[in-house]
Amino acid sequence: MNWNDKLPLIAILRGITPGEVLEHVAVLLAEGFDAVEIPLNSPNWQESIGKTVQAYGDRALIGGGTVLKPAQVDELAWLGGKLLVTPNIQPEVIRRAVSHGMTVCPGCATATEAFTALDAGAGALKIFPSVSFGPDYIKALKAVLPPEIPVFAVGGITPQNLHLYLKAGCIGAGLGGDLYRAGQPVNRTREQAAAFVAAYRAATRAR
């Protein structure tokens, strides 16, 4: 996945249900999103991911988050998922996802975790929880990472603070509760998606 050719904002739809997922993903894609993560601790995640891949897999990078075990990687691959996001560093999970040709974005907090993930084959990293560390920490961590590795800020990112993390060296962000909360109406998803896209474009134009 060449994130430079895409909008590097990952929509995290934690808690979404199969009955509503397609409607929410449709408005995300309409607003310009290219990547959607459905965490595996969401209700009936297999059905949600399968439906979303079938409907939109040719238009966006669709996959799962909160992936903890190699067996879950295999199940996600069987469903057609192309994106895999983890909250932690589990080398075997990363290696299994790479073997399936997935775009892998594991969660890390330290240089040790980051390099462990890269050694296992990860092609991108998410710093989690970013809001707890802050942009200055991420800037310092970026200084020791290979410059070609995309880094995403995840955890507490809002349209108001996104620019701070982009300035610190993140290519983009994973967007959770400030984009989607379980049960919210589709119009709220559309409004927040538009706000994040506008914030990203304003921040990158200002560089």
Summarize pLDDT for 50-89 with one digit per residue, the tens. Answer: 999 999 999 999 999 999 999 999 999 999 999 999 999 9
User: What's the rounded Cα separation, in Å, for the pair 58 and 125?
Assistant: 24
Summarize pLDDT for 88-120 with one digit per residue, the tens. Answer: 999 999 999 999 999 999 999 999 999 999 999
Summarize pLDDT for 147-160 with one digit per residue, the tens. Answer: 999 999 999 999 99
With contact defined as beta carbons under 8 Å apart, do 126 and 85 qualify?
yes
Burial 151-184 (b: 16+ CB within 10 A, else e): bbbbbbbbbebbbbbbebbbbbbbbbbbbbeeeb
User: What's the rounded Cα separation, in Å, for the pair 109 and 96?
Assistant: 22
Exposure of 168 in the CB half-sphere (CA atoms within 13 A): 24
**DSSP 8-state assignment for residue 59:** T
Whether residue 1 has pLDDT greater than 80? no
What is the pLDDT averaged over residues 29-54? Answer: 98
Helix (H, G, I), strand (E, B) or coil at 206: coil
Task: Calculate the alpha carbon distances from 195 to 28, 95, 202 in Å.
Answer: 11, 35, 11
Among 94, 66, 50, 79, which Cα is nearest to 10's?
A: 66
In terms of CATH architecture, what is 9-206?
Alpha-Beta Barrel (3.20)
User: What's the rounded Cα separation, in Å, for the pair 25 and 13?
Assistant: 9
Tokens of 184: 């919210």
Catalytic residue, chosen from 31, 37, 51, 142, is: 37
Residues in the chain: 207
Whether residue 207 has pLDDT greater than 80? no
Active site residue 82: no
Terminus-to-terminus CA distance in the chain, angstroms?
23
Summarize pLDDT for 133-150 with one digit per residue, the tens. Answer: 999 999 999 999 999 999
Active site residue 92: no
User: What's the rounded Cα separation, in Å, for the pair 170 and 30?
Assistant: 24
| Whether the bond into 18 is cis, omega within 30 of 0 | no
User: What's the rounded Cα separation, in Å, for the pair 177 and 170?
Assistant: 19
Q: How large a percentage of the chain has pLDDT more than 90?
A: 96
With contact defined as beta carbons under 8 Å apart, do 90 and 116 qualify?
no
Tokens of 44: 């009936």
Report CA dihedral (148, 152, 153, 154) to the nearest 10 degrees.
Answer: -150
Catalytic residue, chosen from 51, 82, 126, 142, is: 126
